[in-house]
Amino acid sequence: MDMQRIPAQDGTYNLQNYENMRKTFSWEDMKKHFSWNDTGKVNMAYEAVDRHAENPDKKDKAALLYSSPDREEKVTFNELSKQSNQFANVLKKYDVEKGDRIFMFMPRSPEFYAAFFGILKTGAIAGPLFEAFMEQAVRDRLEDSEASMLVTTPDLLERVPQDDLPDLKKIVLVGENNETSDKYIDYQQEMKEASTDFNIEWVDLEDGMLIHYTSGSTGKPKGVYHVHNAMIQHYATAEWVLDLQEDDVYWCTADPGWVTGTSYGIFAPWLYGVTNVVRGGRFSPDNWYGTIDKYNVSVWYTAPTALRKLVSAGEDAVKKHELSSLRHVMSVGEPLNPEVITWGLQAFDLRIHDTWWMTETGAQLIVNLPSQEIRPGSMGKPIPGVEASVVDNEGNEVPPNQMGNLAIKAPWPAMMRKIWKRPEKYESYFINGWYVSGDSAYMDEDGYFWFQGRLDDVINTSGERVGPFEVESKLIEHPAVAESGVIGKPDPERGEIVKAFITLNDGYEDSEELLEEVRQFVKTGLSAHAAPRELEIKDAIPKTRSGKIMRRLLKSWELGLPTGDTSTLEE
Ligand code: WTA
């Protein structure tokens, strides 16, 4: 087969006539799939859960197939509807109002999903946090969002700096606990007493639904604000890109602390009413293949980092499991290496479909549709209803094959509507009517987009975005560290790793123990994925005369590349 062009696979794939649809499609056409189109009553939780629970043919269907090393559970749409009603009643009992920010900091579990939809049912805004966050990361997010309530587990409570969070009024604890203060709400206890009926709070399509914090190259993480209207695009892409069919068993491996884990780990499959597999616990090739085998997963959405690990685990790992249930595989988060696509053809006899989007975009934008030819190394083409291009710094489109800023014509249904409390930050994304992504890319003459890299200093390690500023700030909190500069260093398995350069304060000596101590300091204070895998001591950190760390220069030094313009470098 010509590896440059892999033809579409046979099967009942949607959007056979993609090029034609691009010309005629309007987002208005999608509205007929939602009950609010007839009733005027809007809420994501209704469309994704209650609507199926009210349908006699669907109510007893498995919505969730959950497994973790020590637990296994099936939850039907009807059960999920009732459990989320109960949680919504608990929230109302403690005076939660529409628009309040209710954050969640816990591992994936059936309780997570009940609580998540309970929050949406009250009209409050959910803020899921990745369970591996440490104190600083948790503090930054709860402080900025002014969250009034947090749903967490007793184990994670020690990472919540409550004394520094005056807005945080109540904490719901999921799991056995000995807390006695009336600040704490016992999940099990309250759920037992709560009614399974709830009058859902109807909202406007433009009302807030979700905040995901994400990293930029400067400043603290920013709260990306999404509204209920995003469901239009979640539904459309569930159909076109995920290619979901009624009997599919779907598995998205992402944690709901990241946007893939909500848009495609929660909304898309459940808006479409399919069975959704959730696996807790750590990654290993055996338990991942085992999950596909055990549940007969047919549609699988994962990430290049994981796929690369599966590639290194080799053929034997594949052969140990029955994977013939798989029909459709997708990837997101980092460039999908052509080698991985080749491996996918060998291992599963399937094409792996790359998809490109961001926390800010709320849903997939540039994709390899099942019905289209794949060009390995390319992210594919924009979905119908979306215009993508490559623009220069003034927002003018550049010709095909020329590199520039990957940009999307604003708006689209799932686009973020705010950066929480930072309107100027929000505005800074848009130039000349284009949303400018921060990625560089080019478009070939046939309209396929090719990712080239990030234009800013944001690091993408194993598909997770790390802001260098956050890591630098944490590093200099360590008594030994005077200054720091943090870059992403290319890595074959993780895409990039976090590499930090530091200078030491007087009285500290360079030693392996000290470096390890500093690394642990970031790991336990911020989060494991942000901790530098490499740490190097320097005599000075290069800075501009205005005091900005010249990360680009650090990177050139590290990679042995030409250093370019250094005229702004301080003496
Ligand atoms: C990168 C994840 C190459 C990109 C949904 C983007 C990709 C950032 C791809 C967003 C892809 C995402 N190929 N790079 N298919 N998909 N990226 O906000 O740099 O965690 O800007 O959203 O990941 O990461 P985020």
Domain ranges of the chain: 29-442, 459-559
Are residues 302 and 279 in contact, defined by beta-carbon separation less than 8 angstroms? Answer: no
Cβ-based neighbours of 282, under 8 Å, separated by 6 or more: none
DSSP string, 122-157: TTPEEEEE-TTB-HHHHHHHHHHHT-SEEEE-GGGG
Mean pLDDT for 285-299 is 96
Determine the straight-line distance between the first and last CA of the chain, rounded to whole angstroms. Answer: 57
Which atom of ligand 1 is nearest the CA belonging to 454?
19
Indicate the pLDDT class of residue 11, thresholds 50, 70 and 90.
low
| Ligand 1 atom 13: residue of nearest CA | 335
Q: What are phi and psi of 8, to 5 degrees?
A: -60, 150
Q: How far is CA 64 from CA 33, 74, 152, 279, in A?
A: 22, 6, 20, 10
Are residues 437 and 390 in contact, defined by beta-carbon separation less than 8 angstroms? Answer: no
Are residues 465 and 451 in contact, defined by beta-carbon separation less than 8 angstroms? Answer: no
Q: For residue 215, what are its two tokens?
A: 């990293």
Which atom of ligand 1 is nearest the CA belonging to 258?
20
pLDDT at residue 147, rounded to an integer:
98
pLDDT at residue 571, rounded to an integer:
58
Cα 571 versus chain centre, distance: 41
Ligand 1 centroid to residue 221 C-alpha, Å: 16
Ligand 1 centroid to residue 502 C-alpha, Å: 28
pTM (2 d.p.): 0.94
Percent of the chain with pLDDT over 70: 98
Cβ-based neighbours of 476, under 8 Å, separated by 6 or more: 482, 483, 484
DSSP H or E stretch at residue 226? strand 222-227
Mutation pick for ligand 1 pocket among 329, 360, 367, 451 (CB with most ligand atoms within 8 Å): 451
3 pLDDT above the threshold of 80: no
Are residues 512 and 480 in contact, defined by beta-carbon separation less than 8 angstroms? Answer: no
Which atom of ligand 1 is nearest the CA belonging to 438?
21
DSSP 29: G
Indicate the pLDDT class of residue 13, thresholds 50, 70 and 90.
low
Q: For residue 7, what are its two tokens?
A: 């033809």
Q: Is 55 helix (H, G, I), strand (E, B) or coil?
A: coil
| Ligand 1 atom 23: residue of nearest CA | 333
| Ligand 1 atom 8: residue of nearest CA | 358
Dihedral, CA atoms, 90, 131, 333, 20, nearest 10 degrees? Answer: -10
pLDDT at residue 14, rounded to an integer:
67
Q: Find the residues whose C-beta lies inside 6 A of ligand 1.
A: 214, 258-260, 332-335, 354-359, 379, 437-439, 451, 454, 460, 465
Mutation pick for ligand 1 pocket among 253, 356, 440, 455 (CB with most ligand atoms within 8 Å): 356
Indicate the pLDDT class of residue 548, thresholds 50, 70 and 90.
confident
Ligand 1 centroid to residue 333 C-alpha, Å: 4
| Ligand 1 atom 12: residue of nearest CA | 333
Which atom of ligand 1 is nearest the CA belonging to 453?
19
Ligand 1 centroid to residue 358 C-alpha, Å: 5
Which atom of ligand 1 is nearest the CA belonging to 366?
15
282 pLDDT above the threshold of 90: no
Ligand 1 centroid to residue 335 C-alpha, Å: 8
| ipTM of this complex | 1.00
Ligand 1 centroid to residue 345 C-alpha, Å: 23
Q: What are phi and psi of 215, to 5 degrees?
A: -100, 145
Which atom of ligand 1 is nearest the CA belonging to 464?
20
396 pLDDT above the threshold of 70: yes
Mean pLDDT for 71-97 is 98
Q: Rounded distance, CA 490 to CA 556, Å? A: 12
Which atom of ligand 1 is nearest the CA belonging to 214?
18
Q: What angle do CA 437, 443, 445 make, to 5 degrees?
A: 160
Query: What is the rounded average pLDDT for all residues in the chain?
Result: 94
Cβ-based neighbours of 61, under 8 Å, separated by 6 or more: 52, 76, 77, 273, 275
Ligand 1 centroid to residue 463 C-alpha, Å: 7
Cα 32 versus chain centre, distance: 28
pLDDT digits (tens, 9 = 90+) for 430-476: 999 999 999 999 999 999 999 999 999 999 999 999 999 999 999 99
Mutation pick for ligand 1 pocket among 212, 233, 357, 462 (CB with most ligand atoms within 8 Å): 357
Indicate the pLDDT class of residue 2, thresholds 50, 70 and 90.
low
pLDDT digits (tens, 9 = 90+) for 316-334: 899 999 999 999 999 999 9
Nearest C-alpha neighbor of 136 from the set 522, 500, 529, 497: 522
29-442: CATH architecture? 3-Layer(aba) Sandwich (3.40)
Cβ-based neighbours of 366, under 8 Å, separated by 6 or more: 355, 356, 357, 379, 380, 381, 382, 383, 386, 388, 449
Q: Rounded distance, CA 442 to CA 390, Å? A: 6
**Mean pLDDT highest for which of 8-12, 346-350, 378-382, 544-548?**
378-382
Cα 565 versus chain centre, distance: 35
Indicate the pLDDT class of residue 217, thresholds 50, 70 and 90.
confident
pLDDT digits (tens, 9 = 90+) for 482-519: 999 999 999 998 999 999 999 999 999 999 999 999 99
95 pLDDT above the threshold of 90: yes
Would residue 136 be called left, alpha or beta, if left means φ above 0 and alpha means ψ between -120 and 50 degrees? alpha
| Ligand 1 atom 22: residue of nearest CA | 358
459-559: CATH architecture? 2-Layer Sandwich (3.30)
| Ligand 1 atom 5: residue of nearest CA | 358
Type of residue numbered 295: Y
pLDDT at residue 357, rounded to an integer:
98
Q: Is 107 helix (H, G, I), strand (E, B) or coil?
A: coil
